[in-house]
Amino acid sequence: MLSVAVASVLFDLEAQASGKIHQGSGKPVAVVMHYQATSESWGFAAKYMRQFYEAGLLVYFSIASAAKAIGRYIRYSANQMARD
In tens, the pLDDT along 6-26 reads: 777 887 888 888 888 888 888
Q: Could you give the maximum distance between any two Cα atoms of the chain, in Å?
A: 53
Q: What's the average model confidence in pLDDT over 46-74?
A: 89
Confidence class for position 76, pLDDT limits 50, 70, 90: very high
The Cα–Cα gap between 44 and 58 comes to 19
H-helix or E-strand spanning residue 46:
helix 39-54
Residue-level pLDDT at 36: 64
| Helix and strand counts by DSSP (H, E) for the chain | 3, 2
In the chain, the amino acid numbered 68 is: K
Whole-number percent of the chain with pLDDT over 70: 90
Residue-level pLDDT at 35: 61
Are 32 and 62 contacting, i.e. CB atoms less than 8 angstroms apart?
yes
- The number of beta carbons lying within 10 Å of the beta carbon of residue 65 is 11
Residue-level pLDDT at 41: 74
